[in-house]
Structure formats: structure tokens, C-alpha cells
Amino acid sequence: DLVAGQDTTLSNERLQSMWNEWQRVVAEPFVSRGIPFLSALGNHDASAERSSSGGFVFARERMAAESAWNSLLRKTAYASVEWLSREQFPFFYAFKFKSAGVIGFDGSSAGEVSRNRAWLERQLELLANDTSVKSRIVIGHLPLFAVAKGRETVGNILFDSSDLYQLFNNYRVDFYVSGHHHAFYPARPSQQKGDYGTVLLALGAMGDGPRKLLSPAAPSPRHSMSILDVAQSILHPDFFAPENFKLQTLSPFDGLLQPSALLPERLESFDGRGRPVDLWRFDL
């Protein structure tokens, strides 16, 4: 979540001022230095919640987000991005950057990605068949499986999550990165324990509302920022090779590292249809 939307009582002026400040404080320091900055949209940015008639409840906020992001794309920082799909940007897009392929989709509600399943599969197929792509990362707001207390309900997880995990694994996706639950936890589901397969990287909260993991052994909630480095020159050609990546998670306030080894080894979780799933911590 980049702004504090998902509120029909917000004035147009207030909504626009939040996006203006986000651009000034967050985005501009990146793009002014030639660094392309991209994100998955959160439910507070541009919720894909739909009414009984099928329309977007927060259509105004989605228009504001679309306008803010498309104004950034005119910056020269984005000239280094090789777009594969941006017809639905910033809700659905795919690109290559050096040897990495990235797909961003609208995970701001539980079911929106399912409406665009054909598009997602097409982008995954393109990346899988491109020999210049050495690593594949998918980003979306809602996770595939629950990780945090206060978010352990079906609507806070992507609806077809178990099926999506198998899809990512089949197309050799290295990471699915999500937010929303506000609790740092890198994991694989039980069927992938001990094997190579897509890693689920649940991000913590840099701002409001860190949450506790779904385990009595979990440490107290903490603010965190995760940095995933992808090797430009892939050291090992196999999927998934840990030496091709480096993950560091730290406090955004004092820079202290938060090793994943301090987190619970296992979470008793469930998918978007309420079916139980064990998540096993993955240390990178």
C-alpha cells in the first residue's frame, strides 16, 4: 500500500495530495537518479473490489493510481525497461530488466487475478521460453497463503492460490512477492519442502501495522524492509539456485538485520479457499 485510500469519503483533493506526496517523497528520488521504480498496487491504492453489478467500488481511486503511475513512465529512467506487456499498466504488466523477468498483477482483491488468468499464463509462457531470462519474479499484493494474525480470512488471500502456486512452479518462477499481511516470512508450502520450487516472500510493513505471524513461537511484530538482490550473471543455471539470490531484511529505522532463521520453522496456514496448508520457512 502506497497511499491511504480505499475510502469513499475521501475528497478528490485529499486523494490527489496523497499521490502527489508519494511521487515527491518516494518515487522521484529513484527516477531522478535513473532508477526505474515499479510496484504492485495495494488495496489502499486501487482496490479491485467489485459491486454486485460487477463494477469497481473504488473506480475513482483506480483512476487516480493509473494517472499517477503513467505520469512516471514518461521519465527517462524507464528507458532501460524492456516492456513485454503494459496495456493494462499499472494493474497488470510484465517486463525484462537485464536478465530478470518480472510480472506484476492486480492482487488488490482476492479474485481479480483470476479474471485475467489467460494474460498471466501468457506472460509466464513468454518468460519461460526466453533464454535471455535467467530469473523470474511475480509480484502482487495479497499472498497465496495466510501468514499473519488479523489477516487469516479467505478474502485476505488470493482466491485460487493453491492453483496459482502450481502454475508458478510449473513455469519456474523463482519468487512470488506479496504484501498486505505486514509480516516478513519467506516460505514454501509443504509439498515443496526440501525441493526446489517457487519461494513465497511475504513482506513486512515499513509503515503502519506490523502483524504477528501465525505461530505461538513467532517474535513480536516489527517493522521491516526486505532487499532481494538478483545476480546479473547467473551462477547456477538450475531452478531454483539459492546462490543466484541474496535476501536481506532489516529495520527501516536503525538498519539492524532481521535474520529469517529467527522466525518459526513452520506456519499452519491455509489457501484462498480455506484449505489447510503448512508453510515451511525458507532461509536464503
Angle formed by the axes of helices 12-22 and 59-72, nearest 10°: 30
At 194, the pLDDT band (50, 70, 90 cuts) reads low
Q: Under DSSP, is residue 170 helix (H, G, I), strand (E, B) or coil?
A: helix
At 231, the pLDDT band (50, 70, 90 cuts) reads confident
Query: What residues form DSSP beta bridges with 268?
Result: 278
d(CA 280, CA 268): 9
The model's pTM: 0.95
| Cα dihedral across residues 164, 165, 168, 174: positive or negative | positive
d(CA 204, CA 222): 8
| Cα dihedral across residues 19, 202, 230, 284: positive or negative | positive
Grid coordinates representing 179 are: 504484501
At 193, the pLDDT band (50, 70, 90 cuts) reads low
Q: Residues of the chain with pLDDT > 70: what percent?
A: 96
The pLDDT of residue 208 is 87
Mean pLDDT, range 227-234, rounded to an integer = 83
Mean pLDDT, range 102-110, rounded to an integer = 97
The pLDDT of residue 73 is 93
pLDDT in tens, 32-56: 999 999 999 999 999 999 999 999 9
The pLDDT of residue 171 is 94
Mean pLDDT, range 62-91, rounded to an integer = 95
d(CA 92, CA 195): 30
| Cα dihedral across residues 202, 192, 100, 107: positive or negative | negative
At 241, the pLDDT band (50, 70, 90 cuts) reads confident
**Mean of the per-residue pLDDT values for the chain?**
93
pLDDT exceeds 80 at position 114: yes
pLDDT exceeds 90 at position 11: yes
Question: Helix, strand, coil proportions of the chain in percent (round to 5)?
Answer: 30, 25, 50
Number of other residues whose CB lies within 10 A of the CB of residue 168:
23
